């Protein structure tokens, strides 16, 4: 099997790898199980999302919002790999402002425009 494995350029990868003492082990591309760091990050994000949903007693249909917020929090939290700054700060050069953060599952109020009100005494805002 190793002898028949060819790269895109047509050279024999098994022979190329065998000369410096590297063992050729083909893997499927983009397989998460082959990358321990990615698998660990996915587990951590899932745990964060699950904890947020359990704390607020949210139904399962909101899992994508919890997962997105967990990813946002991870990207904006300082860590040791970025020299105690956040990945977002390293990439864009600006730190997170706390004023834009709200608790997951916080109640929201929707303001209704005047054209959508049925009469003069109708509610101008509704709870979400």
Over its length of 128 residues, how does the chain's per-residue pLDDT go in tens digits? 444 444 455 566 667 766 666 777 777 777 766 777 888 889 999 999 999 999 999 999 999 999 999 999 998 888 888 888 888 888 888 888 777 777 888 888 888 777 777 777 878 888 87
Same domain? For 58 and 16 the reply is no
* 51 lies in the same domain as 25: no
Number of domains present in the structure of the chain: 2
Sign of the torsion formed by the C-alpha atoms of 61, 66, 69 and 70:
negative
Same domain, 11 and 74: no
Q: Which pLDDT score is estimated for 20?
A: 66
**pTM of structure:** 0.60
55 and 74 in one domain?
yes
Give the three-state DSSP class for 117.
Answer: coil
Gap between the Cα atoms of 73 and 69, Å rounded: 6
> Are 3 and 56 found together in one domain?
no
The pLDDT score that the predictor gives to residue 95 is: 81
């Amino acid at each position: 099997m190793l002898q028949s494995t060819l790269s895109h350029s047509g050279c024999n990868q098994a022979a190329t790898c065998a000369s410096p003492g590297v063992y050729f082990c083909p893997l499927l591309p983009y397989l998460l199980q082959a990358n321990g760091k990615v698998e660990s990050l996915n587990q951590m994000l899932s745990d964060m999302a699950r904890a947020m949903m359990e704390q607020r007693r949210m139904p399962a249909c909101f899992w994508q919002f919890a997962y997105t917020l967990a990813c946002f929090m991870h990207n904006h939290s300082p860590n040791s790999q970025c020299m105690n700054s956040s990945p977002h700060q390293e990439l864009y050069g600006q730190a997170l402002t706390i004023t834009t953060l709200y608790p997951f599952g916080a109640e929201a109020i929707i303001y209704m425009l005047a054209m959508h009100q049925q009469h003069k005494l109708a509610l101008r805002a509704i709870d979400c």
